[in-house]
Amino acid sequence: WISEFNGHIEDLVGSACQEGYRKIASYGGDGSLNAAVNGLVTQTVCSPKDVLLAHYPSGTGNDWTRFFKIPNKPKDWVQTINKNLVFNHDLGIIDLTKDGKPAKHYFVNIAGVAYESQCAVLITEARKTKSLFQGKLFYDFIVLKGLFSFQVPELTLKYSDVVRTEKIFNLCVAICRHNGGGMLPAPYADPADGIFDVTVFKDMPKWMVLKDYPKLRAGTIFKNPKVTSFRTNRIEISRTDKPDYIEADGEFVGLGPATFSTQKQALRFIIGEVPGVKEFPF
C-alpha cells in the first residue's frame, strides 16, 4: 500500500487492522513512522499491542531507526526482521490544539517546543521544494537558517510538584535519544521505562548555541551549564505570551499549551539491537 496524501498512512494502518493484519511495516522517515503509530493507536479494532510493528528507514533523519540499529539496505533489513527481536516500547501522548480544537497526538521518539518546534515548521516548508541538502546537512542547514531570527520564549513548566517560568531556548521531551539527523539531546533516555527524559536548554547567546552545536551531535551537551535534564512521566508546557508550536518525531503537530504523558511499553516493535541502559546522572 502506498500513501497518497497527508493522513493517508494513518488510514492505511487502520484499514490493515480492520482486515486482520497484526504485523505491519512502514516505510519512510521518522514522520512516516509517527503517522503509522498514530494510525495504530487511534484505530478501534484491536489493542495496539496486538500488532507487531516494523519500520524501514528511508527518510531525511531516520533517528528512531538509528537508535535501534535498524539497517537501511534491503537485504540487511530483511535479515533483521527475520531475527524477530521484539521490543516493548513506550508511547508518548500529547494533549494540544490542532485546527482550533483540542486533540491528541502520539509519538515514539522525541517531542519538543521552542527552537526545535520552529525548526519543524521550517522543515515542513523546506520539504515543499527540492532541497540541496540531505540527511545531517539538511538539519544543519535548517538549524542555522532559523537561529538568528528566533525569539526565545518564556515558558511555564509544570511537572511533579514543580512549577517554573523562565526563558527557554529549547526543550525536548524524550522517549529515545536521537533527533535532528543524529543529534543526541537525551543520551540517557530509556524507551521502556515509562519515563520521559526532559532536556532544557536555557536562554543563551546565539554564539554559544553555535559553539556548542558539535556537543549536541556528540552527546556531550550537558557540559554546557545552560543545559539541564530531569525525568518525569507527565509535564505541562505553556508559553506565557501566545500558543507555541509543538513538534513530535520531527513533525509540526499542533499548538500549545500542551500536556505530555507516557504509557509504558504500550507498543511492540521489531528492532535491530536492544539499547543499553545508561545511568541517569542528574
pLDDT tens by residue, 56-101: 998 777 999 999 999 999 999 999 999 999 999 999 999 999 999 9
In this structure, is residue 274 part of a structural domain?
no
259 and 235 Cβ atoms separated by less than 8 Å: yes
In this structure, is residue 171 part of a structural domain?
yes
With vertex at residue 20, the alpha carbon angle to CA 15 and CA 22, rounded to the nearest 5 degrees, is 95
Q: For position 185, which CATH number holds? A: 2.60.200.40
Rounded to two decimals, what is the model's pTM?
0.93
The residue among 181, 187, 151 whose CA lies nearest residue 168 is 151
Q: Is 134 a residue whose pLDDT tops 60?
A: no
Task: List, for residues 145-195, the tens digit of each pLDDT value.
Answer: 778 889 999 999 999 999 999 999 999 999 999 998 889 999 999 999 999
In this structure, is residue 242 part of a structural domain?
yes
User: How far is it, in rounded angstroms, from Cα 245 to Cα 125?
Assistant: 14
Domain span at 153: 108-257
For the chain, how many structural domains are there in total?
1
Segment (H or E) for 92: strand 86-98
Q: Is 128 a residue whose pLDDT tops 80?
A: no
In this structure, is residue 27 part of a structural domain?
no
Helix axes 8-18, 30-42, angle to 10 degrees: 50
In this structure, is residue 130 part of a structural domain?
yes
In this structure, is residue 163 part of a structural domain?
yes
Helix axes 135-147, 115-126, angle to 10 degrees: 120
In this structure, is residue 216 part of a structural domain?
yes
pLDDT value for 133: 52
250 and 29 Cβ atoms separated by less than 8 Å: yes
